[in-house]
A and B are shown apart, each in its own frame.
Chain A
Amino acid sequence: MTPTSSPAKAAKTPPAGLSRDQLLELYYWMRLTRTLEERLVALYRQTKVVGGLFRSLGQEADAVGSAFALDKQAGDILSPLIRNLGSMLVRGATPVEVLKQYMAKGDSPTRGRELNIHFGGPERGFIGQISHLGDMVPVMAGVTLTFKMRKEKRVGLVYVGDGATSTGAFHEGLNFAAVQQCPLVCIVENNKYAYSTPTRKMTAAKRFMDKAIGYGIPGVEADGNDVLAVYEVTKAAVERARQGGGPTLVELHTFRRKGHAEHDNQSYVKPGEIEEWAEKNDPLDRSIKTLTTDYGFAMDQLTAIDAKVVAEVDAATDEAEKSGPPEPRDALNGIYADPPVAPVLWYREGIRAAVDKNERAQGWGTYNG
């Protein structure tokens, strides 16, 4: 095949006002998500990742396509879920900070206070989640209520999974946002499993989008593994919110191809299901096919992006590994604005660190006299 960067004659016009450069950009963010997570797996196996590792393998299109529909200039804000690394990268999170965060470095975004991708701030366009599923829906209702009160043309986007739709917080938050007509888009990533629990044990509803009726808001759906379809459906919901139309519930159909976290062997998944999604419905494979077949991009343009991504992740890894762990006593800083430092307990006065060497398994409860 002769490499070429000019579109083939029959190239389609990109949907929803996307430019050809933006088509490549979407591919770039999905590839970056996957490559960065693969790097995290390697670091996890080297025990350099301190806590659990959460993959979004197979869900890159839903994260990237939806986040891409927000407007950076307008100051839109999203709140990601654990499988929205791609959304955060699109909004400006960097690979080096994600790596530092996972490795619990002292100069990681949360200075070692929180795990994985739980970080962010309104000024960055993404607000870090907490582990309690559904809680970010009321919080984002409040963020977008503020947009409305200040008459700002900004939009918020909050992700929940199929599992979180069962929580009270999801219901209370979405109902509040609907009553107040907050400019909030709520995305349900239906990836078929909440940890090991299949959707049929999570809800008796046929479709998550149908829940929208109960809140008096529109419910829409899209193929979550088609990045362009995700972009299109989210963009419409975002613009509707921006124009004062209130919240939309968007269901994106996808599939979680890895376990809840890296330790989970997915024994509960029907044999062949993961392989089938990998083979027939991988968002990156589908994107490559669309870009080369429908939009006339040459394969070398995509492999060049792949190479650029690997170089970026390599450089980020080198940089992240240079950082050290946090100073132990930084643990006491910043629980309140005032007082800024919590008092040290009497038996730790004058002591810099609790232990010289971190106590690991052999130091825990193994006293045998």
Chain B
Amino acid sequence: MAEVTYLEGIRQAMLEEMERDPNVFLMGEDIGAYGGAFKATEGLLEKFGESRVIDTPISEAGFVGAAAGAAHMGMRPVVEMQFIDFISCAYDMLTNYVATARYRAFLPCPMVVRGPSGGYVRGGPFHSQNPEAAFLHTPGLKIVYPSSAADAKGLLKSAIRDEDCVLFFEHKYLYRRIKEEMPQGDHLVPIGEAKVVRPGKHLSIITYAATVWKSLEAAEQLAKEDGIEVEVLDLRSLLPMDEEAIVRTVKKTNRVLVVHEDTVTGGIAGEITAKINELCFEWLDAPVRRVAAHDIPLPYAPPLEDFVLPQTSDIVRAARWVAAY
């Protein structure tokens, strides 16, 4: 069986959900004839036509708002941010209108906002962002950020079927770099469930998205060079967050490193650390430490970007510190 890329997993998820449910439709910039900036929607215009694959004007607030209106009417819009950096243009619509709709007005808003996220690609300040933490603070939204092709597909299909708005972050570094055999049939991954991607007993790394792979590299190195057996927990969903899985790994290893690509201050690692403090403080043998990006807009030049973003070697150094505490 042929292996499938992360990007193809995402395309398959949209294709299958559009075949399954006529209410599912796509909106975004250049997603039709061009197939999207990264080709996530390639071939879908030909298959489903212009009424279900809508090329929009450059107006994120406009088409996110339109998605909300369509969702109220029973449609299942999936909108693409050409780069997730542009989701900030729809911040008002998402946080004030969409996120509150069910609560304040009993208006369901089942919709997905998805798009290429993240750095390590020399994209500079406006094509590399990880703005997930900006939405973690908004009750009413759900946030998903997968690290594998199968999870990308299964979680996107679940997101499209979810009754609420799901922000679906896709890591563009992973789009074509990772492949795996895709589970057969109607492959769904539930939102809100983390996954242990490498079991271990000495230390837990809690992470998500591209840094899952960097953490796995670090774990491999630590096993070989230090004999430290690292458990890597891939959160997959950030809102809701799988607190049980977090507590389980803390109780197992008693030492935690939280790793993410987003900037450190106000990042999700702080929230995870607070949860651990509140839920299982007495199980810790060392302080929870964070490895994340410096608080800098992501620069373009390779030596600069590499310095700002967390690297495998950073994770190794930090893990040794936590393990030795």
Contact = CB atoms under 8 A, between A and B. Distances in A.
A338 B163 contact: yes
Interface string A123-150: 0000110111001011111111111010
Given A143-B69, A146-B73, A138 B102 contact: no
A100 B107 CA distance: 20
B67 A335 contact: no
Contacts of B140: 335-336
B64 A143 contact: no
A145 B106 contact: no
Interface stretch (B92-100, B261-269, B299-307): B92-100
Contacts, number: 139
A159 interface: no
Contacts of B174: none
Contacts of A172: 57, 59, 61-63, 65
Contacts of A139: 65-66, 68-69, 72, 97
Given A110-B104, A146-B70, A135 B92 contact: yes
Interface string B60-85: 01111111111111110100000000
B125 interface: no
A176 B105 contact: no
Contacts of A137: 65
A142 B56 contact: no
B33 to A, nearest CB: 16
B108 interface: yes
A314 interface: no
A127 B72 contact: yes
B56 to A, nearest CB: 7
A261 B74 CA distance: 35
Nearest to B163: A337
Interface residues of B, number: 43
Contact of A143 (B61, B73, B103, B105): B73
B142 to A, nearest CB: 8
A299 interface: no
Contact of B164 (A122, A131, A132, A336): A336
A140 B66 CA distance: 7
Contacts of A118: 104-105
B97 A135 contact: yes
A141 B102 contact: no
Interface string A100-132: 000000000010011000111110000110111
A122 B93 CA distance: 19
Contacts of B73: 122, 142-143, 146-147
Given A135-B65, A135-B96, A169-B93, A110 B105 contact: yes
B54 interface: yes
A142 B92 contact: no
Nearest to A154: B73
A128 B105 contact: yes
Nearest to B59: A172
A130 B95 CA distance: 12
Given A132-B97, A335-B139, A127 B65 contact: no
Given A114-B105, A138-B93, A334-B103, A176 B139 contact: no
Contacts of A149: 25, 51-52, 70, 75
Nearest to A77: B73
A328 interface: no
A290 interface: no
Contacts of B164: 336-338
Given A130-B97, A142-B69, A149-B25, A334 B61 contact: no
Given A114-B105, A130-B100, A175-B59, A169 B92 contact: yes
Contacts of A337: 102, 108, 162-164
Contacts of B106: 110, 121, 334
A173 interface: yes
A222 B105 CA distance: 32
B79 to A, nearest CB: 10
Given A121-B107, A175-B62, 17 more contacts: A114-B104, A119-B105, A127-B69, A127-B105, A130-B96, A132-B96, A135-B92, A135-B96, A135-B97, A139-B66, A144-B69, A146-B74, A169-B62, A173-B65, A180-B54, A335-B103, A336-B102
The 7 lowest CB-CB distance pairs between A and B, nearest first, are A138-B65, A142-B69, A172-B62, A142-B66, A337-B163, A172-B59, A143-B69
Interface of A: 110, 113-114, 118-122, 127-128, 130-132, 135, 137-147, 149, 168-169, 171-173, 175-176, 179-180, 334-339, 342, 346
17 contacts: A110-B105, A120-B105, A127-B72, A130-B104, A138-B62, A138-B64, A139-B65, A140-B69, A146-B70, A169-B62, A172-B57, A176-B59, A179-B56, A335-B139, A337-B163, A337-B164, A346-B278
